[in-house]
């Protein structure tokens, strides 16, 4: 296999912890077993242990080795595909409630960082949805107007205002999401892991659940031991269907990122970008960029992959790496001699309506789940933990109402694969045309 692109198996944000927690040896009995040690699982475990509940988290590798340790670190109130689509699908009242949900998620994540004292380079300077072609202006103005009407904290930035902020010149104008900012995702998840361990959560790492047995009490079987519990929580997001649950609800999509080598002082000064706002583009399949505290640019997205049968597509994806590097060169033409130091990939969970789902399933209605953040889970998965904590205790968190709706089922294979391929093909072609137009000037 071609391995000519410098590739990280997980990401540059995380490394195997030196205090890796051992797998269960034999049978263990707890009140609640959580499968998955990312933001959702750890946040759920923290909220349950704060209520005095004995909770175990089973993680197949180490806590933070999934999307929570691989993402780009934009803490955003982005919700759904886009706000005009949200309005069309759900009407004004529900769309307003969803916007509030997304704001609450950002605030909850910020409070979590504060409360637990997590040092994760968080800068609350917002994120900009930027136009890269003059034709994007109309769409962004409409989007800003819809957002304001739905109660979102956004502001249109003209070209002049973008330049005043020092945002790189290929980002012509934009919509600033004022809430949120960027953080170091690896340090954030490591902070949650540390807090969970300190709170007495029984964390088992290198402990893949080979079967979650649908019975009461519920049993999570690993190779060497079984955790038996009154209730289970599926915090496995994109990996959920691989475990044999919620196959029609959430589809795993591979997303790839890169990190540049560090820019020296001179280059950073020339670049401007002094507030370090996160940036996404208003392509059909967005590009994302952010400036890290180590002076590197992390970016990518743009090219997503779906594998037949909802399998996790291979992490090393030459085509995606080529596409995201080319996009970086287009947007940052002045950095032509800055090398890309590494590429990596992770998997997001996508529902048909691009919104997360929270629910309860299983023959004994004792398996709870919170999944499907459509690539916006840094904030939403953190809040989901608090929501799942309440649900496990038989209560509804106030944020649940916004997400209440009938779950839409992805079509079965091969229709799903064909639909994903067709949709991806169309959106990629639209974006490629836009990029060609930009290059031609
Ligand atoms: C490349 C990339 C970029 C992204 N960028 C952003 C961004 O900038 N902003 C944003 O808001 N969101 C972003 N996201 C999305 C965000 O990272 C996710 O929504 C969020 O991390 C989901 O958290 P989670 O805990 O639900 O899932 P995960 O972090 O994926 O955790 C699930 C865990 O379950 C474990 N697991 C799976 N199966 C089993 C099993 N059988 N037994 C035991 N453990 C198991 C996995 O190892 C994994 O650690 C991005 C995602 C990717 C992949």
- Structure confidence by residue, pLDDT tens digits, 155-208: 999 999 999 999 999 999 999 999 999 999 999 999 999 999 999 999 999 999
The Å distance, Cα 8 to ligand 1 centre, comes to 16
Could you tell me what percent of the chain has a pLDDT over 90?
92
Please say if the pLDDT value at position 297 is more than 60. yes
Q: What is the pLDDT of residue 2?
A: 62
Q: What is the pLDDT of residue 411?
A: 92
Q: What is the CA radius of gyration of the chain?
A: 21
Q: Is the CB of 298 under 6 A from ligand 1?
A: no
Q: What mean pLDDT, rounded, does the chain reach?
A: 95
**CA separation, residue 167 to residues 176, 286, 290, 350 (Å):** 12, 17, 11, 30
- What tokens were used for 278? 């996160």
Cα–Cα distance, 380 to 283 (Å, whole number): 23
Cα–Cα distance, 19 to 430 (Å, whole number): 47
Residues 248, 249, 251, 255, Cα dihedral to 10°: 180
Q: What is the pLDDT of residue 1?
A: 55
Instruction: Say if CB 226 and CB 27 are below 8 A apart.
Output: yes
Confidence of residue 290 (pLDDT cuts 50, 70, 90): very high
Instruction: Give the atom of ligand 1 at the shortest distance from the alpha carbon of 290.
Output: 8
Average pLDDT over every residue of 322-330 = 95
Q: Is the CB of 236 under 6 A from ligand 1?
A: yes
Please say if the pLDDT value at position 223 is more than 80. yes
Cα–Cα distance, 27 to 44 (Å, whole number): 22
Residues 313, 317, 322, 327, Cα dihedral to 10°: 40
Q: pLDDT tens for residues 353-390?
A: 999 999 999 999 999 999 999 999 999 999 999 999 99
Cα–Cα distance, 195 to 13 (Å, whole number): 18
| 73: nearest Cα among 183, 176, 193 | 183
Q: Which of 324, 348, 368, 374 to mutate to test the pocket of ligand 1 (most atoms within 8 A of CB)?
A: 348
Q: What is the DSSP string of 334-388?
A: GGTTPPEEEEEEEEEEE-TTS--EEEEETTTT-EEEEE--TT-HHHHHHHHHHHH
Cα–Cα distance, 199 to 33 (Å, whole number): 15
- What tokens were used for 268? 């950073």
Average pLDDT over every residue of 342-351 = 96
Cα–Cα distance, 375 to 367 (Å, whole number): 24
Kind and range of the H or E element at 323? Answer: helix 318-331
The residues pairing with 358 across neighbouring beta strands, listed in sequence order, are 370
Q: Is the CB of 59 under 6 A from ligand 1?
A: yes
Q: What is the pLDDT of residue 66?
A: 98
Cα–Cα distance, 28 to 221 (Å, whole number): 11
Please say if the pLDDT value at position 42 is more than 60. yes
CA of residue 244 relative to chain centroid, distance: 22
Q: Is the CB of 182 under 6 A from ligand 1?
A: no
List b or e across 236-259, with b for residues whose CB sees 16 or more CB atoms inside 10 angstroms: bbbbbbbbebbbebbbbbbbbbbb
Q: Is the CB of 312 under 6 A from ligand 1?
A: no
Q: Is the CB of 181 under 6 A from ligand 1?
A: no
What is the reported pTM?
0.97
Instruction: Give the atom of ligand 1 at the shortest distance from the alpha carbon of 384.
Output: 26
The Å distance, Cα 288 to ligand 1 centre, comes to 17
**3-state SS of the chain: helix, strand, coil percent to 5?**
35, 25, 40
Q: Is the CB of 60 under 6 A from ligand 1?
A: yes
- The residue ranking higher by pLDDT, 25 or 120, is 120
Q: Is the CB of 90 under 6 A from ligand 1?
A: no
Q: pLDDT tens for residues 106-138?
A: 999 999 999 999 999 999 999 999 999 999 999
CA of residue 286 relative to chain centroid, distance: 14
Q: Is the CB of 40 under 6 A from ligand 1?
A: yes
Q: What is the DSSP letter of 67?
A: G
| 347: nearest Cα among 264, 238, 244 | 238
The Å distance, Cα 437 to ligand 1 centre, comes to 35
């Amino acid at each position: 296999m071609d391995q000519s692109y410098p590739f990280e198996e997980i990401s540059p944000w995380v490394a195997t912890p030196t205090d890796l927690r051992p797998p269960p040896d034999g049978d263990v009995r707890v009140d609640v077993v959580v499968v998955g040690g990312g933001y959702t699982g750890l946040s759920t475990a923290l909220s349950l242990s704060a209520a005095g509940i004995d909770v175990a988290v089973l993680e197949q590798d180490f806590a933070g080795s999934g999307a929570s340790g691989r993402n780009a670190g934009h803490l955003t109130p982005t919700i759904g595909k886009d706000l005009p689509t949200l309005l069309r699908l759900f009407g004004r009242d529900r769309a307003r409630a969803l916007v509030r949900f997304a704001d609450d998620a950002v605030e909850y994540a910020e409070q979590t960082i504060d409360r637990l004292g997590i040092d994760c380079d968080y800068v609350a300077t917002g994120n900009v949805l930027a136009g890269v072609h003059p034709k994007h202006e109309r769409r962004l103005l409409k989007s800003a107007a819809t957002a304001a009407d739905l109660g979102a904290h956004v502001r249109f930035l003209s070209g002049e205002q973008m330049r005043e902020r020092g945002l790189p010149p290929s980002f012509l104008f934009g919509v600033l999401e004022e809430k949120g900012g960027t953080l170091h995702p690896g340090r954030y998840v490591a902070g949650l892991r540390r807090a969970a361990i300190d709170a007495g959560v029984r964390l088992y790492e290198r402990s893949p659940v080979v079967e979650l047995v649908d019975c009461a009490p519920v049993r999570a079987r690993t190779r060497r031991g079984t955790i038996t519990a009154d209730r289970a929580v599926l915090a496995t997001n994109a990996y959920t269907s691989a475990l044999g649950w919620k196959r029609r609800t959430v589809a795993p999509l591979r997303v790839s990122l890169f990190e540049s080598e560090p820019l020296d002082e001179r280059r950073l000064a020339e670049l401007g970008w002094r507030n370090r706002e996160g940036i996404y583009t208003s392509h059909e399949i967005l590009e994302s960029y952010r400036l890290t505290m180590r002076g590197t640019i992390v970016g990518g997205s743009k090219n997503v992959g779906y594998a037949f049968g909802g399998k996790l597509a291979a992490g090393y994806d030459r085509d995606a790496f080529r596409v995201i590097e080319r996009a970086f060169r287009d947007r940052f033409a002045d950095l032509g001699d800055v090398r890309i130091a590494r590429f990596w990939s992770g998997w997001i969970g996508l529902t048909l309506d691009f919104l997360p789902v929270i629910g309860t399933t299983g023959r004994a209605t004792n398996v709870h789940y919170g999944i499907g953040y459509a690539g916006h889970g840094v904030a939403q998965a953190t809040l989901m933990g608090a929501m799942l904590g309440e649900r496990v205790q038989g209560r509804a968190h106030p944020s649940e109402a916004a997400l209440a709706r009938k779950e839409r089922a992805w079509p079965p294979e091969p229709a799903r694969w064909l639909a994903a391929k067709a949709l991806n093909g169309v959106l990629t072609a639209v974006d490629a045309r836009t990029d060609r137009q930009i290059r031609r000037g």
